[in-house]
Homo-oligomer: A and B are copies of this chain.
Amino acid sequence: MSDDGVRIYEVGPRDGLQAEETVVATDAKLTFIGLLADAGLREIEATSFVSARAIPQLADADALMSRLQRRAGVRYPVLVPNERGMQRAIEAGVDAICLFTAATESYARHNINMGIDESLAAFAPVAATARERGMWIRGYVSTAFGCPYEGEVSAAAVVDVSQRLLELGVDQLGISDTVGVATPRDVRRVIGARRDAGIPPAAIACHFHDTRGTALANVMTALELGVRCFDAAAGGTGGSPYAPGAAGNLATEDLVYLLDREGLDSGVELDGVIEAARFIGQQLHRSVSSKVGRAGGWPLG
């Protein structure tokens, strides 16, 4: 990654697949993760150690992580919801974890069955264990730009949860547009508030969903604000339980196309991502929802 570089944090295997109807086999997930690494992705969120009942799509987390051939220079974070999940992660040899809470009380309660305070209290021992073991830690702040239950969300609420996660020792915040409603003005409002709060831009990753087509416009604004890490999912998988039929995560190939043409080096090869996206589309029995996945790169081949 050059000085002009941007990191792409791939969330397809976890955030992408957990919201898909089709359950993908472990072998296919391993192939998918391998194709993503082949494409040059160096941070690939691999799975989640939640209960198999809650998210059957990721019920194979233990098997997946034990079979995963880790490559040098690639980080494979996994989502850990609690101490039980942390134990499983340790047993699987994981060295990077994600904690998941929200900027709104209602979403936290609906999604992780804990209020915000309760979730942060539950994360404290998990984060302490992770720090002791030298693990890298991400803290997700979901519903940072809008909540399906509470509507608009204040920047103050996002900053508050962010600061409390940083106090727990997280290395990076995943500021997430869970319902895909943000436009550049929201990005300025929410991400811009990090300055007064003393949160460095290097601690922030933006996680945009392309539900309303605004993800790349939001990336451009976040870049202006100094953010240099963006989440994306090859094939734009993920959908939204709040908008059936709607688009999901920002597609990695759409992001790579934009960054390439903006002259920003991500170290990720567009053709490789398109291949990974096609592969996972086949496993999901549907065509990928990304624009570049359908149109191809440029100049035309």
Contacts and interface: CB of A to CB of B under 8 A. Distances in A.
A201 interface: no
A184 B217 CA distance: 9
A299 to B, nearest CB: 5
Nearest to A186: B261
Among A146, A181, A212, A242, the one with the most B-chain Cβ atoms within 10 Å of its Cβ is A212
B254 A294 contact: no
Interface string A241-259: 0110111000100100110
Contact of A148 (B213, B215, B240, B300): B300
A34 B227 CA distance: 44
Nearest to A299: B151
A263 B261 CA distance: 29
Interface string A170-209: 0000000001110111100000000000000000000000
A185 B216 contact: no
Contact of A213 (B152, B183, B220, B251): B251
Contacts of A298: 146, 179, 181, 212
A57 interface: no
A214 B291 CA distance: 9
A280 interface: no
Contacts of A240: 295
A119 B254 CA distance: 36
A183 B262 contact: yes
B210 A258 contact: no
A298 B240 CA distance: 14
A142 interface: no
A186 B292 CA distance: 17
Contacts of A146: 298-299
A217 B223 CA distance: 12
A290 interface: yes
B148 A258 contact: no
Interface string A279-299: 000000001001110111011
Contact of A220 (B151, B181, B220, B246): B220
A101 interface: no
Contacts of A26: none
Nearest to A210: B291
21 contacts: A146-B299, A148-B300, A179-B298, A181-B261, A183-B258, A211-B291, A212-B258, A212-B291, A212-B292, A213-B216, A213-B257, A213-B290, A213-B292, A240-B295, A242-B300, A243-B296, A243-B300, A245-B295, A246-B291, A247-B291, A247-B294
